C-alpha cells in the first residue's frame, strides 16, 4: 500500500456565513417546525454545521462516486469506496445563524490497514471553528477508504436485505428509550442537497447496487448521527445543552426497511449512551454524548 504519511499536517482554511436559507432547508428535512423560519441570531443545533463548509467542485472535477477527486486536500488513496467512519465533537460555544465562521482543517492521520474485507485507509481530519477570536467547536472527522466490494460482502448484504424485507427484527441491543425511524429517498435526497453531498450511494440506486454492491440507498452516517442528537434533545435529555458528542459507524443502514434509535438514561455525570440499530436490528452506530 502507498505511504501517505506526507499528507499528515496539510491544512486549509475557509470562511462561511451560517446562511438562514440552508438552516431552513435542513429544518424541513429533519421536521423541525421551530426552525422553518430561522432568523439571524438563532442558535444552530448540534451537527447542523455539517450543512456548511462542504467542497464545491465542478462536475468535471468529480470522481465516479460523485465526490471530488482525491489528491487535492485529501490524499489520493487507491481504494475507491469512501465512508464517514465517525467523529468527535466538543462545543465551546454556540454557532449562530447569520454568523461568519472560519474553519481551519488539518490532516491529523493517514493510516493504511489490511482488514477482513481488504485493504483500507483511515484518514482523520481535525477542524476548528471560530467566530473572530472565539473557538466555538473542535471536531475530528474519520474517513475510511475501502476496496471494491467482494463477492462475499455482496452476498452478505443480499442476505441482510432479504432478512430486512421479511421483517421480524430483533434488536442486538435495546435502549431504555427507543424511536423507530423510516428514512426514504426524498429525505435522503434533501439531506444530500442541503449538505451539497454528491456521493451517489445516497440517491443513485442503480449505482449503489451495481457498482458498490449495496442492497439499496445507504443512509448517510452524519444524518443518522444528527438524528441521534435530535432524539437526545427531544426525548432523552430535553432542555439540556450538548457539550460533547462522538460516534462510530459500525455497519451500514439502508432505505429498504425501518431502523431504530436507542438511548440509555443520562448518567449522573451527564454522559449518555446512544446507538442506532440497522434494518435487521444489529448495532449500526455507537455514540456517546455529554449534556449539561
CB 171 within 8 A of CB 262: yes
Q: What is the CATH number for 135?
A: 3.10.129.10
Q: What confidence tens digit (pLDDT) does each residue in 126-165 have?
A: 999 999 999 999 999 999 999 999 999 999 999 999 999 8
* pLDDT of amino acid 4: 85
Q: Can you tell me the mean pLDDT for 256-261?
A: 96
Q: How confident is the model at residue 113 (pLDDT cuts 50, 70, 90)?
A: confident
Ranges of beta strands (E only) in 35-99 are 81-91
What share of the chain in percent tops pLDDT 70?
98
Q: Can you tell me the mean pLDDT for 26-40?
A: 97
Q: Can you tell me the mean pLDDT for 70-78?
A: 86
Range of the domain at 101: 5-291
Ranges of beta strands (E only) in 62-168 are 81-91, 100-115, 118-131, 134-146
| Mean pLDDT of all residues belonging to the chain | 95
CB 111 within 8 A of CB 75: no
* pLDDT of amino acid 40: 96
Q: How confident is the model at residue 22 (pLDDT cuts 50, 70, 90)?
A: very high
What's the grid cell of residue 120? 483500507
How many domains does one find in the chain? 1
* pLDDT of amino acid 244: 98
Q: Can you tell me the mean pLDDT for 262-266?
A: 96
* pLDDT of amino acid 103: 98
Q: How confident is the model at residue 257 (pLDDT cuts 50, 70, 90)?
A: very high
What share of the chain in percent tops pLDDT 90?
88
| Beta strands 271-277 and 242-249, pairing class | unpaired
* pLDDT of amino acid 137: 98
Q: In whole angstroms, what is the distance from residue 62 CA to residue 78 CA?
A: 15
* pLDDT of amino acid 117: 67
Q: How confident is the model at residue 168 (pLDDT cuts 50, 70, 90)?
A: confident
Q: Can you tell me the mean pLDDT for 187-200?
A: 97
Q: How confident is the model at residue 70 (pLDDT cuts 50, 70, 90)?
A: confident
**Model confidence at 250: pLDDT above 80:** yes
**Model confidence at 1: pLDDT above 70:** no
* pLDDT of amino acid 175: 97
* pLDDT of amino acid 2: 66
* pLDDT of amino acid 98: 98
CB 23 within 8 A of CB 35: yes
| Beta strands 134-146 and 118-131, pairing class | antiparallel
Amino acid at each position: 500500500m502507498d505511504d501517505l504519511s506526507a499528507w499528515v499536517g496539510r491544512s486549509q482554511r475557509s470562511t462561511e456565513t451560517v446562511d438562514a436559507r440552508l438552516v431552513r432547508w435542513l429544518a424541513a428535512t429533519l421536521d423541525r417546525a421551530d426552525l422553518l423560519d430561522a432568523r439571524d441570531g438563532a442558535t444552530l443545533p448540534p451537527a447542523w454545521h455539517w450543512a456548511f463548509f462542504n467542497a464545491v467542485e465542478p462536475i468535471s472535477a468529480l470522481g465516479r462516486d460523485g465526490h471530488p477527486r482525491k489528491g487535492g486536500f485529501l490524499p489520493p488513496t487507491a481504494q475507491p469506496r469512501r465512508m464517514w467512519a465517525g467523529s468527535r465533537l466538543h462545543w465551546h460555544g454556540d454557532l449562530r445563524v447569520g454568523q461568519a465562521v472560519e474553519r481551519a482543517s488539518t490532516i491529523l492521520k493517514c493510516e493504511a490497514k489490511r482488514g477482513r474485507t481488504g485493504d483500507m485507509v483511515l484518514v482523520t481530519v481535525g477542524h476548528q471553528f471560530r467566530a473572530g477570536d472565539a473557538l466555538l467547536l473542535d471536531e475530528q472527522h474519520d474517513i475510511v477508504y475501502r476496496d471494491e466490494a467482494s463477492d462475499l460482502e455482496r452476498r452478505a448484504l443480499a442476505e441482510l436485505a432479504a432478512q430486512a424485507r421479511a421483517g421480524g427484527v430483533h434488536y442486538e441491543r435495546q435502549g431504555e428509550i427507543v424511536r423507530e425511524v423510516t428514512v426514504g429517498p426524498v429525505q435522503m435526497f434533501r439531506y444530500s442537497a442541503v449538505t451539497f453531498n454528491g456521493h451517489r450511494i445516497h440517491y443513485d440506486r442503480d449505482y449503489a447496487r451495481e457498482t458498490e454492491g449495496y442492497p439499496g440507498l445507504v443512509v448517510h452516517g452524519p444524518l443518522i448521527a444528527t438524528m441521534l442528537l435530535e432524539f437526545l434533545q427531544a426525548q432523552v435529555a430535553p432542555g439540556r445543552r450538548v457539550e460533547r458528542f462522538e460516534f462510530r459507524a459500525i455497519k451500514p443502514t439502508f432505505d429498504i426497511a425501518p431502523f431504530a434509535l436507542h438511548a440509555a438514561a443520562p448518567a449522573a455525570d451527564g454522559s449518555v449512551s446512544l446507538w442506532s440499530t440497522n434494518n435487521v436490528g444489529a448495532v449500526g452506530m455507537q455514540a456517546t454524548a455529554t449534556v449539561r
